[in-house]
Amino acid sequence: MADRKAELERKKARLEQMRRERKEKELSKTRNVGDDSKTSVKSSGSDASGAEPDDILREFGISPAPEGSPATPKKAAAQSQAVKEVEVPTSVSHTTPRKVRLSVAKVNETSIPPRENVSYSKETQTIIADPVDKDGGRHGKSHVNDDNDLDFIENLEGSSSHAHQFRGHGHSHGHGHTHKMPHVEMVAPATTSEEQNKEHKKPVPELSEEEKKQILMSEGFQKFFDHSSRIVERALAEEVDIFADYSGKDSGGKDDEAMAGERLKVNRDFYDDKWSKHRIITSLDWSAQHPELLLSSYGSNEDATNVPDGVALIWNIKYKKDTPEYVFHCQSPVMSSCFAKFHPNLVLGGTYSGQIVLWDNRVNKRTPVQRTPLSASAHTHPVYCITVVGTQNAHNLISVSNDGKLCSWSLDMLSQPQDSMELQHKQSKSVAATCSSFLSGDANNFIVGSEECLVYSASRHGSKAGINEAYDAHQGPITAIDTHRVPGQIDFSPYFLSSSFDWTVKLWSIKEQKYLCSFEDNSDYVSDVQWSPTNPALFSSVDIMGRLDLWHLNHETEVPTASVVVDTNVALNKLRWHQTGHHIGVGDDMGRIYIYDVAENIANPKADEWSKFVRTLQEMKQQATEREEDSTLLGSAAPIR
Amino acid sequence: MDDFQSGEETAFVVDEVTNIIKEAVEGSIGGNAYQHNKVNQWTSSVVEQCLNQLTKLSKPFKYIVTCVIMQKNGAGLHTASSCYWDNQTDGSCTVRWENKTMYCIVSVFGLAI
């Protein structure tokens, strides 16, 4: 209160001073011509202050006026105006000499980020009607576009040579193709095609060479021939075999008996003189929709020059005929192949050139109907691993090439990958992938084996996309890896096998850095390994000494339960279990495929197989930890036996 | 008292100015959606309103008011400004306002006389 009074007093004194000075100014107004603004200020100020000394007092009672309220700034303004009026003459003189310290202010920034546009588009590619290739464009109708006429004719001969019954009936004609036409017509056993052949009977004598050729080349004829020759061959083969069946099987004809009884027995072999001779089998796959169909892909035939480099054949184990159901070929050796899991008619192949080719068995063409481009957006290195992952409605083709590039494709659209990524492990070192396997039921996580003796686990999407972990224990390039996929009450999907040039097969869990168990019974490169699809503790391996091993881990982990040598002169390259777990298809490097039957007592899992396997794995883990301790004691980095 | 008042007068009060700007913007384009034919009026009205309110403060300041209205189309925008002045007395203030269809950025620079 006292302070207030003092301030009031001060205010009053000032007001009087102001009045005095105002009067002085009014006098000097007439003298001061220049400053109109000042006078206006003065006059307005004088008006304002004339009216307001009381106001000022009043407002001072209200004194500390909060900023922002509309009423008080006005009064404060008036107040300041009044004061200003006093100060104006003085402030004018103040402003000019007042020190002005200029400096750069902080930069004021405003930013509005752009909106991210997420769009989705899907394209489909149509089949090119008429591929022009090195032979020059063939006129559209012919389906053997990339073959020479000669090939086709040889094929005719080839297929009919197997149907030796024809010859047996006494038609000893030469091999000129002109004789083929009447040959087919007159054959009695071919009842299914006889009706159709009668049509051909009439024009035959009238046609010239040219016209005959034309008919041969025509689409209709070739379709018919392809289809009916297949049926005829089966029918013929079947007839012969009905008698041979019982005697053939039981008499142990082949001399590849297993050491202990008949655990592994050769059922049959597949070999085609024309198409699989001297070609190494690079991959095998059984069809999911038709379990009797086996797809095999072949590398190039170095001996022959005029033949296509890459071949894929589909064999049938249901019938006794020993010619392939379908023959496909392409320009580059096929390194890996698989049936398109959800499309019963499509066959995919990954080639040495990095191109992925698609064959269709509905079309009467032996060459691929679609191919991926040979560009940097796709693969430029050999494609060693292709798999179809996903479900019926949402699936992709995943391909990994030797330079570590992983591409994912849609089967409708092979002209560009949907997605691609580089598999790199630390310090941008690309993974030289030789084999890959997806985890059971998982379209995202997979494992890759490489030439650098390392196995990697990786993911396609997600926060950990790319290579996650490396498993280092092999001393040679990895030839094959396989993840466990037997369904059952206990899930063994983290366990996988790897085989390598270092003569061993190792069992791992993806959760552990160190392998669980190493199988070292082989004395040469182990070329392939695969879990049985039905028995959780069973797997099989092949090596290049011609040996096929069956390991049943619940019985024995040191040596294989059954072992068979196919042929000491032959190196086995690939093996594939049949879905039933009763057959194994084995391919060698000379173009021959052997189908082995696995004895039921081994192939079929018993009820307690799963729990026994859990115990086996626990024992292996114990041994693994002991081994680790030993190795750390010895001071060595990796256990070597 | 003199000092108190002079403190009030000769410094740029950011909060006060921010409020003025906000009121001006709300008042002019408050609940409206972006309309190309009206934007002209809006920018003018925002600037005028701001300036009027600022002059009503009767402070010894020179004011510069800018207003940008941008339609929300997914484009990005970035602006920056810097000044060379007396940091004690001069100041600036930028208000960024938005609704569903547009952004409005108003900057006021006050330089003491």
pLDDT, tens digit (0-9, with 9 covering 90-100), for A362-414:
988 899 999 999 988 899 999 999 999 998 888 899 999 999 999 999 988 88
CA distances to A322, A329, A575 from A325, in Å? 9, 13, 20
Side-chain-side CA neighbours of A55 within 13 Å: the count stands at: 15
pLDDT > 70: percent of chain A: 71
Q: Does B82 touch chain A (CB under 8 A)?
A: yes
Alpha carbon A445 to its chain's center: 10
Distance of CA A107 to the CA centre of its chain: 50
Q: How confident is the model over A565-614, as pLDDT tens digits?
A: 887 788 999 999 999 999 999 999 999 999 999 988 888 888 888 999 99
**A37 inside 8 A of chain B by CB:** no
Where do we find the tokens 């009695």?
A: A188
| β-pair partners for A454 | A472
d(CA A575, CA A528): 6
A310-316: strand order across its sheet:
A281-286, A293-298, A310-316, A326-330
Residue of A110, A116, A118, A119 for testing the chain B interface, max B β-carbons within 10 Å: A110
C-alpha dihedral, A536 to A608 to A581 to A501, nearest 10°: 30
A472-490 pLDDT tens trace: 889 999 999 999 988 888 8
Which amino acid, one-letter code, is at A181? M
Total CB pairs under 8 A between chain A and B: 87
d(Cα A514, Cα A53) in Å, to the nearest integer?
A: 94
A164's tokens: 């030796």
pLDDT value at residue A38: 47
From edge to edge, which strands make up the β-sheet containing A583-588? A264-270, A593-598, A583-588, A572-577
Put simply, the chain A residues between 105 and 144 with a CB less than 8 A from any chain B CB are 105-115, 117
Q: What is the pLDDT of residue A451?
A: 92
Of the two residues A309 and A197, the one the predictor is more confident about is A309
Please report the residues numbered 48 through 87 in chain A whose beta carbons come closer than 8 angstroms to any beta carbon of chain B. 67-68, 73-74, 76-77, 79-81, 83-84
Question: What pLDDT is attached to residue A27?
Answer: 76
Q: Which amino acid type is present at position B14?
A: V
Instruction: Give ipTM to 2 decimals.
Output: 0.72
Q: Which of residues 36-65 of B touch A (CB under 8 A)?
A: 56-58, 60
Across the interface, whether the CB atoms of B9 and A80 are under 8 A apart is answered yes
- φ, ψ of residue A63 in degrees (nearest 5): 0, -90
A177 pLDDT band, cuts 50/70/90, is very low
Is the whole model's pTM more than 0.80, yes or no? no
> In this predicted structure, what is the pLDDT of residue A189?
62
Please give chain B's pLDDT, 113 residues, in tens.
444 444 455 788 899 899 999 999 999 998 899 998 999 999 999 999 999 999 898 899 999 999 999 999 888 999 999 999 988 888 999 999 999 999 999 999 999 88
Q: Which of A93, A92, A72, A79 is nearest to B6 (CA)?
A: A79
* CA distance from start to end of chain B: 21
Confidence grade of residue A237 (pLDDT, cut at 50, 70, 90) = confident
Q: Which residues contact A440 (CB under 8 A, 6 or more apart)?
A: A483, A484, A485, A493
Residues of chain B positioned with their CB less than 8 A from the CB of A112:
70, 76-78, 103
Higher pLDDT, A326 or A101: A326
Neighbours of A339 (CB within 10 A): 22
